[in-house]
């Protein structure tokens, strides 16, 4: 029997090997298995599978349950620890209880439709449409892979349609509201984080992962290189998902002044505690012992503090407020997209389309000025 190994991710491998011919049709059958680890481990697993296949000891592929297949599929995906936890939570809580014991090849469209319609949360209530979409996307994606691997002939999830998600207005604050929020936060340990979020549009994880080596106060610039992620096993620094996530951001004068004060105060606290000066590898926003701030703890602190200011918005509203200010100032979608670190201007336009629409009046006024000035030539290049 023959087999080969194909890399699927940094430490993910797909094993492909021949199985015994179909007893009915006599046609050649191919098996696929995903393995996580080093290539040597994948080679060892392939050798074992080929040995079992020669001995006729491999389990019948058609008997695999949806639960077992989903776990194998997830093991082969190249995901961050946090994303893997989220996928596994959906699989274990939303899919397995209803469809887990169904054999993969016997799963029917009607079963998927009934499952999707009956999804419930932990409290027994119907799930939010967005959560429905997440669960549906996981199942649809896994079954699409099964089709590619020829484990099933069609994706039965295509017969079901998740509930429609109603577009909601993004959370953003006006200039006066931003001032009110920052006034309320003054003196708290999250003030500097919020101030820099409003000034740069950086994400929560990017702010909490910022190191002093990434900040150049003399040039009024900072560089985004990592994001802080919280998983069940602890905190980790991860690189941006796309090349556009790694970016340089110019700082307004107020942000430079704020960071200068913050650095001085941070140094004074360290000296008072006998910790000495921090090096460039220290994080900008940290706990008293210099360790990174937990994203979850930060969000909890934000929720309490923001209510004192009379608002009920998530921390992500700082990013939306920054983007809205850029658009109102007349920056084009590409410039806004680059500053926010979106992987494509399409994402920026989809998120803030209504904001760009509000600036269209100025475009009409600009062309009207040209059309009413015959002395100004219009050149086409």
Give the pLDDT confidence score for residue 156 in this predicted structure.
92
Query: What is the C-alpha to C-alpha distance for residues 198 and 317, in angstroms, rounded to an integer?
Result: 9
103: helix, coil or strand? strand
Greatest alpha-carbon pair distance for the chain in Å reads 89
- 69 contacts 146 by C-beta, under 8 angstroms: yes
Tens of each residue's pLDDT in the chain, 381 residues: 578 888 877 788 888 887 766 555 566 677 777 777 889 988 988 888 888 777 776 666 567 889 989 998 998 888 888 888 999 999 998 999 999 999 998 899 999 999 998 887 666 677 777 788 899 999 999 999 988 887 887 899 998 888 776 656 678 888 889 999 999 999 898 999 999 999 999 999 999 999 999 999 999 999 999 999 998 888 999 988 778 889 999 999 999 999 999 999 988 888 888 877 777 789 999 998 889 999 999 999 999 999 888 888 999 999 999 998 888 888 888 998 999 999 888 888 887 776 766 555 555 565 556 566 554 444 444
Give the pLDDT confidence score for residue 19 in this predicted structure.
73
16: helix, coil or strand? strand
Query: What is the C-alpha to C-alpha distance for residues 8 and 3, in angstroms, rounded to an integer?
Result: 16
Q: Which fold has domain 59-166?
A: DNA polymerase; domain 1 (1.10.150)
| CB atoms closer than 10 angstroms to residue 5 | 16
Give the pLDDT confidence score for residue 258 in this predicted structure.
95
- 232 contacts 251 by C-beta, under 8 angstroms: no
CATH architecture of 175-313: Orthogonal Bundle (1.10)
Give the pLDDT confidence score for residue 144 in this predicted structure.
93
Query: What is the C-alpha to C-alpha distance for residues 138 and 134, in angstroms, rounded to an integer?
Result: 6
Give the pLDDT confidence score for residue 13 in this predicted structure.
82
- 310 contacts 316 by C-beta, under 8 angstroms: no
- 132 contacts 116 by C-beta, under 8 angstroms: yes
* Tokens coding 71: 């776990």
Q: Which residues pair with 32 in a beta bridge?
A: 16
* Tokens coding 274: 């006998």
Give the pLDDT confidence score for residue 182 in this predicted structure.
92
- 231 contacts 87 by C-beta, under 8 angstroms: no
Task: Determine what percent of the chain falls in helix, strand and coil, rounding each to the nearest 5.
Answer: 50, 15, 35
């Amino acid at each position: 029997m023959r087999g080969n190994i194909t890399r699927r991710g940094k430490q993910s491998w797909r094993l492909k090997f021949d199985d015994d011919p179909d007893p009915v049709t006599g046609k050649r059958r191919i098996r696929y298995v995903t393995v996580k680890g080093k290539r040597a481990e994948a080679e060892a697993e392939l050798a074992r599978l080929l040995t079992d296949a020669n001995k006729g000891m491999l389990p019948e592929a058609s008997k695999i349950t949806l639960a077992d297949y989903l776990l194998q599929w997830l093991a082969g995906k190249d995901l961050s620890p946090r994303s893997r936890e989220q996928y596994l939570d959906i699989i274990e809580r939303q899919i397995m209880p209803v469809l887990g014991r169904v054999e993969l090849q016997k799963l029917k469209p009607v079963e998927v439709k009934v499952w999707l319609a009956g999804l419930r949360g932990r409290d027994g209530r119907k799930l939010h449409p967005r959560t429905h979409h997440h669960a549906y996307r996981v199942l649809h994606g896994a079954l699409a892979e099964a089709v590619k691997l020829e484990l099933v002939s069609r994706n039965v999830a295509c017969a079901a349609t998740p509930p429609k998600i109603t577009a909601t207005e993004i959370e953003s604050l006006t200039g006066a509201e931003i001032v009110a929020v920052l006034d309320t936060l003054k003196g708290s340990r999250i003030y500097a984080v919020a101030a820099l979020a409003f000034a740069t549009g950086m994400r929560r994880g990017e702010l909490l992962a910022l190191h002093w080596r990434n900040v150049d106060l003399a040039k009024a610039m900072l560089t985004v290189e990592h994001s802080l992620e919280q998983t069940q096993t602890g905190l980790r620094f991860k690189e941006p998902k796309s090349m556009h996530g790694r970016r340089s951001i110019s700082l307004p004068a107020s942000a430079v002044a704020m960071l200068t004060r913050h650095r001085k105060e941070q140094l004074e606290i360290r000296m008072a505690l006998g910790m000495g000066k921090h090096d460039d590898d220290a994080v900008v926003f940290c706990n008293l012992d210099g360790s990174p701030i937990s994203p979850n703890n930060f969000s909890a602190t934000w929720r309490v503090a923001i209510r004192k200011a009379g608002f009920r918005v998530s921390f992500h509203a700082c990013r939306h407020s920054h983007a809205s200010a850029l658009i109102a100032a007349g920056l084009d979608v590409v410039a806004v997209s680059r500053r926010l670190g979106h992987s494509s201007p399409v994402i920026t336009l989809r998120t803030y389309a209504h904001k760009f629409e509000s600036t269209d009046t100025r475009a009409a006024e600009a062309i009207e000025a040209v059309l009413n000035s015959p002395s100004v030539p219009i050149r086409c290049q």
